[in-house]
Structure formats: structure tokens, C-alpha cells
């Protein structure tokens, strides 16, 4: 366990086992230099408990970098709930999860993520105030999609000399709330869409609404396109799929898109411009955190408008230092953490001493 925490520089991990509700949850807190650890809660099936811990640790680290790059007063954390066997009482599960979060006294603030919805967050909010997604606060999928869209315009503009997406071919993998909103924005901008989703109903909706070409999920990687936008779960770019890609730009919503971070250099060597997820998909975090802090719409819009500025700075940093956007994004985030008094732990470095809190009944 400690090897995993050291690998990702995680500060502490909290575990909860509640046999009554069926809750088995992991909360990983990566860093709180800039503020409380903020990150979504996933409810998915994991092959084993170690996979759940690795997922939480990687995602928590990404949230630290995402918040730092976006200039937000927050650190990085993530919660994962191991989906219990069916049937289970969902309300009881999330009441227990809310109590778990509340026991951390604001050190971690949760939000939506894969497998959870606003109704779940409303139940959590009935047990703790440390939640940044709810029906009252609103859905953060559109701000996420807007941020990605504006970032894509910047990246495409650098490659093509203009940010006009009319006629650009974009392959979208995953049509959840963010992926579907991104498809709508790209369609309105005149892009030609190629889409895939394991849910054929969603794929059919994209075909009808946006005149999208639908392909089977296993075929999306090999589609000739200008931009490949992974918008589902992470780890989709691996040693097998990387050889299938036929695109100059990779920019999407999914967290931890690279199965192995060394693939960032492979993409760079092959002339593919990979924009790290924690740089381009910060819109949801910005919206959720600012709503949680009672910011007004003007401040939220101002912060969202900084995403293309961040992407521009990232591309300039990478070009100036002759490195990949992945490493430039890490360096830029770490510089902000250093400026706040934190000596960060990069993925390849040793991490500080970690503390693991024992499983609580």
C-alpha cells in the first residue's frame, strides 16, 4: 500500500467499511497546500481493492495539479466507492458516505464523478456541508465541456493557424454528460463528429442531433481525424491503442487518459500534441468549487475564461523548453505549489512520509 502512496505522492488515505449500508470507500488526499482537497466521488466496479486505491491516488494527484494550474484555492483529493453487489440501497450507501466525509472535518470536499449523480450528492449534502455538487448548486458538466471546447480552439489554432473549427474532424470517445455537451458545442462550431459509446442509445442521439458518424467503441481509435477527444474513463491510451491513433491532437475530458505516463513522450516523439486532462478539463472543478464558496456568476465566468489562457501558456512553455505539454503542465503546476511553500513530488520522485488511517467501522 505504501508503495502506491509513495508513487503518487499521496499525503493520506482514509478507508471506510460499513457492512450495514454496504459502503466500502477510499478517500485519497494528495495535497492541501492551496486549500482543502477537492475531487469527485466515483462509484464503479473495481477488479480488486488495490485497483481502487491506485485509481483514487492517481486521480487525487491530478486534482492537485488541476487546481494549481487553474489558480484555485484548493488541493487534490478523490473518493472511490467500490460498487456493492446488487441489490443495494443507494440512499443508505450515500448517507453513510456523507457521514464518512463529515468525519474529515472539511479536509476533503466531494463532488460528482463517474457512476454518481446529483440525487446521490443531495443525499450526501443532507449529512455534510462538504460537498460541491448538488441539485441546488447545479450540474458542472456544461462548464467542463465549455472549458475543453475553448482549449481545443486554442490547440487547433496553433496547429492550423486559426481556431475556426468549421470542417474539423473530431472523434469523441464517450458520450456522457460532458461528452455530449462537448459534441453539441463542436457541432455548433461546424466540426464533423465521429463518436462512440458503449451505450448505443447515446450514440444514436449524437447521430440524430449532430449528424455524427457512429463507430463501434473498439474502432474509435483508428479513425482519421484532427482531434481525438477521450471523454469516458481513464487509461484508454495504452501500448496497444497508441499505435492505432491517426490524429495530430489529443484533447478530452477523461481523467488519467494515459495508462502509463511514459506514453506522453511517445506521443511527443510521434508528433501528436497531447494536452493533459488536468490542464484542459478544469471547468467542472472551477464551477463546483466556486459554487461551493458562494462565488457569483461573474467570478465563475472570469475563471472559466482563463482556461484558454492556461492552455496557451502551456503550449508556449512546452515549445520554449522543448518538452512535451505533459511535462510542461507538471512543471507549471509544481511551480505554483512551490510558490505557496510546498515542495511538490513529481511522478518519478520519492514522496514524503505518508499516513494511512485504519479502516473504520
Enumerate the active-site residues. Answer: 78
Residues counted in the chain:
361
| d(C-alpha 24, C-alpha 81), whole Å | 6
| d(C-alpha 174, C-alpha 182), whole Å | 10
Query: Which grid coordinates belong to 335?
Result: 511551480
| d(C-alpha 26, C-alpha 49), whole Å | 9
User: Any idea what DSSP says for residue 36?
Assistant: S
Q: Could you tell me if 26 and 15 are in contact, meaning their C-beta atoms sit under 8 angstroms apart?
A: yes
Name the burial class of residue 118, with classes exposed (0-12), middle (13-18) and buried (19+) by CB atoms within 10 angstroms of its CB.
middle
The residues, any chain, with a CB within 8 Å of residue 281's CB and separated by 6 or more, are 66, 144, 147, 148, 178, 252, 253, 254, 255
Is the CA virtual torsion 207, 212, 215, 218 positive or negative? Answer: negative
Amino acid at each position: 500500500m505504501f508503495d502506491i502512496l509513495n508513487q503518487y505522492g499521496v499525503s493520506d488515505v482514509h478507508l471506510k467499511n460499513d457492512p450495514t449500508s454496504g459502503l466500502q470507500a477510499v478517500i485519497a488526499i494528495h495535497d492541501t497546500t492551496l486549500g482543502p482537497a477537492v475531487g469527485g466521488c466515483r462509484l464503479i466496479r473495481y477488479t480488486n481493492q488495490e485497483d481502487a486505491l491506485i485509481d483514487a491516488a492517481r486521480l487525487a494527484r491530478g486534482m492537485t495539479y488541476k487546481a494549481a494550474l487553474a489558480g484555485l484555492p484548493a488541493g487534490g483529493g478523490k473518493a472511490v466507492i467500490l460498487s456493492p453487489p446488487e441489490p443495494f440501497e443507494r440512499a443508505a450507501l450515500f448517507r453513510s458516505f456523507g457521514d464518512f466525509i463529515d468525519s474529515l472535518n472539511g479536509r476533503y470536499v466531494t463532488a460528482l464523478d463517474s457512476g454518481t449523480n446529483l440525487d446521490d450528492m443531495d443525499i450526501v449534502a443532507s449529512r455534510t456541508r462538504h460537498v460541491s455538487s448538488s441539485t441546488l448548486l447545479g450540474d458542472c458538466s456544461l462548464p467542463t465541456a465549455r472549458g475543453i471546447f475553448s482549449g481545443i480552439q486554442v490547440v487547433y489554432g496553433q496547429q492550423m493557424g486559426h481556431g475556426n473549427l468549421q470542417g474539423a474532424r473530431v472523434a469523441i470517445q464517450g458520450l456522457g454528460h460532458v461528452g455530449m455537451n462537448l459534441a453539441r458545442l463542436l457541432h455548433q462550431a461546424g466540426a464533423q463528429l465521429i463518436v462512440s459509446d458503449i451505450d448505443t442509445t447515446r450514440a444514436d442521439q449524437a447521430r440524430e442531433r449532430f449528424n455524427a458518424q457512429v463507430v463501434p467503441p473498439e474502432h474509435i481509435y483508428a479513425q482519421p481525424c484532427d482531434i481525438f477527444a477521450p471523454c469516458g474513463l481513464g487509461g484508454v491510451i495504452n501500448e496497444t491503442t497508441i499505435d492505432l491513433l491517426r490524429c495530430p491532437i489529443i484533447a478530452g475530458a477523461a481523467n488519467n487518459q494515459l495508462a502509463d505516463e511514459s506514453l506522453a513522450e511517445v506521443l511527443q516523439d510521434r508528433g501528436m500534441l497531447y494536452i493533459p486532462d488536468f490542464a484542459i478539463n478544469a471547468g467542472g472543478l472551477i464551477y463546483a468549487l466556486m459554487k461551493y464558496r458562494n462565488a457569483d456568476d461573474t467570478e465563475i465566468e472570469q475563471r472559466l475564461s482563463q482556461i484558454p489562457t492556461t492552455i496557451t501558456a502551456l503550449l508556449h512553455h512546452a515549445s520554449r523548453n522543448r518538452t512535451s505539454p505533459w511535462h510542461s503542465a507538471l512543471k507549471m503546476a509544481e511551480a505554483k505549489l512551490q510558490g505557496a511553500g510546498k515542495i511538490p513530488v513529481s511522478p518519478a520522485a520519492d514522496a514524503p512520509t505518508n499516513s494511512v488511517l485504519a479502516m473504520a467501522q
